[in-house]
Structure 1
Amino acid sequence: MQTHLIYATCANLEEARKIAKVLVEERRVACVNILPQIQSLYWWNDAVQEDSEIAFLAKTTRENVDGVVKRVKEIHSYDCPAIIATPIENGNPDFLKWIGEECQNPG
């Protein structure tokens, strides 16, 4: 079973925790790590924007990626949230197996 790491940014810690809790409770992801405040610079509405954000990393299976992206978009406050999934190529086999065992909600 292939595992994936999902990176996303949120407006604040409250939003990140809310999204993380939903994803874990619905068994779409095995776990979420919420990172401390980050500074983001990006192009939006024809200008450079600069904001403080919170990022999170979620671990899931390939089968769950599309459902995770859809669910995050449903909950998220941004019009176009940053949600990026990338395959986990290698790591602790026991941990990667655990991810697969804990994710039970494809789609």
Structure 2
Amino acid sequence: MTQQDEIIIVFTHVPHMACAETIAQTLVNAKLAACVNISSPVTSVYRWQGQVEQAQEIGLTIKTSRKVYPALATKLKALHPYELPEIVAIHVNEGLPEYLQWMMAETGPKE
């Protein structure tokens, strides 16, 4: 397996900035994420329980490795205020090798 196969990006959205900051700090401090980008508010339109809803949310882009994804998903679900949180991941196919090495070094057991 190549280094690129080991890197994933996880996406979620939360209802407010305080929640986003708490999740980001928790994941990085636990070495479950190398970096978390917190976006500006976005408007989300979605169907929930048969109704079309619209809400302002804060997006999180979580840069991590496959080796810690199970623990990250468990922690993220526990911290997330939504009944059914968005937790989706994509694999990174290409990237600056030095950046990918940094991401791998920053995720995993605390030293």
TM over 0.5: yes
Q: For residue 31 of structure 2, what is the aligned residue in structure 1?
A: 27
Match of 1:50 among 50, 54, 57: 54
Q: Is contact 2:67–2:108 with CA below 8 Å preserved after alignment?
A: no
User: How high is the TM-score relative to the length of structure 1?
Assistant: 0.95
Q: Displacement, 1:18? A: 0.4
User: Residue type of the partner of 1:88?
Assistant: V
Consecutive unaligned residues in structure 1, runs of 5 or more: none
Q: For residue 7 of structure 1, what is the aligned residue in structure 2?
A: 11
% identical equivalent positions: 29
Q: Are 1:97 and 2:101 an aligned pair?
A: yes
What SS is found at the alignment partner of 2:94? Answer: coil
Moved over 2 A (4+): none
1: CA distance between counterparts of 2:83 and 2:40?
A: 22
2: CA distance between counterparts of 1:43 and 1:70?
A: 25
Q: For residue 87 of structure 1, what is the aligned residue in structure 2?
A: 91
RMSD after superposition: 0.8
Q: Give the length in aligned residue pairs.
A: 105
After superposition, give the CA deviation of every residue in 1:70-91 in whole Å (9 maximum; x if it has no partner): 1110011100011111111101
Consecutive unaligned residues in structure 2, runs of 5 or more: none
Q: For residue 81 of structure 2, what is the aligned residue in structure 1?
A: 77
Q: Displacement, 1:104? A: 1.4
User: How high is the TM-score relative to the length of structure 2?
Assistant: 0.91
User: Residue type of the partner of 1:55?
Assistant: G
2: CA distance between counterparts of 1:29 and 1:37?
A: 22
